[in-house]
Structure 1
């Protein structure tokens, strides 16, 4: 395991919220990550579709994994999402995060969330690496 891979994996292993939702890491390399989650009963809203906050959380987790793969901690500076299609109880959501640009302490990442290959949401996040304490 590389140092870079280890830093993102350690962050995920300490992420109680994502793990409690059943989010799993499928792929992980610096600048790219794939994570998945199955929509459970407690994730469905009053319209019978997945609450958008859970879709956002999955995308945000994939984003965090991708931007924390360089051996230094990074956090979200900004993020937004476009919901393109509803998802439902039992759907397996797969989020693929890809680095678009990394410059200085900043990065831009796109995350596509799919169900059975169909795009259901697009997320964009800006990361900021934290200054190391000396």
Structure 2
């Protein structure tokens, strides 16, 4: 059997979905925090999470680290849509409003630029009322390897 026979070609949307599914299956951190992967597309993702009691800080708000983690997960799914293993090379976040216990936070990640091995992604985190809680910017770096071996996008 030749290597060519083992290559499967799919649409860009199917590629994003297959990569997300493979990553999600191994993402015990995001699942353990109660995140839900709601949508993916090339350069786009949407994840949500409910703020639990054990996520509250000393001011009785959601600890910023949990908000950052939700945004970082959305960033990861937004930048790993093309089956090329891509990691964060840096990220920053601005907290704009507090999140409280019981809030349902949604992080929407969108690609802003991708060229060569690097990319820039913005993630907006908002609560169930649409209030923006945080803005996150991530910079990605494409490493070697595939998320799903033998899978390529149709040209």
Q: TM-score, normalised by structure 2?
A: 0.83
Distance 1:21 1:122 in 2: 20
Q: What is aligned with 2:42?
A: 30
Unaligned runs of 5+ in 1: none
Q: Is the 8 A contact 1:9 1:65 kept in 2?
A: no
Structure 2 stretches lacking a partner, 5+ long: 1-12, 147-155
Secondary structure, aligned partner of 1:47: coil
Aligned pair 1:65/2:77, yes or no? yes
More moved, 37-46 vs 4-13: 4-13
Larger radius of gyration, structure 1 or 2? Answer: 2
**Alignment map for 1:15-94 (pairs within 5 Å):** 15-94=27-106
CA RMSD for the aligned pairs? 1.2
Question: 1:107 aligned to 2:119?
Answer: yes
1:16-40 deviations in Å (ceiling 9; x for gaps) = 0110000001110110000000000
User: Within 2, Cα distance between the matches of 1:88 and 1:124?
Assistant: 23
Structure 2: distance between partners of 1:129 and 1:76: 9
SS in 1 for 2:136: strand
Secondary structure in structure 2 of the residue aligned to 1:85? coil
Q: How many residues in Structure 1 have an aligned counterpart in Structure 2? A: 133
Q: TM-score, normalised by structure 1?
A: 0.95
Instruction: Check whether the contact 2:97–2:134 (CA below 8 A) recurs between aligned residues.
Output: yes
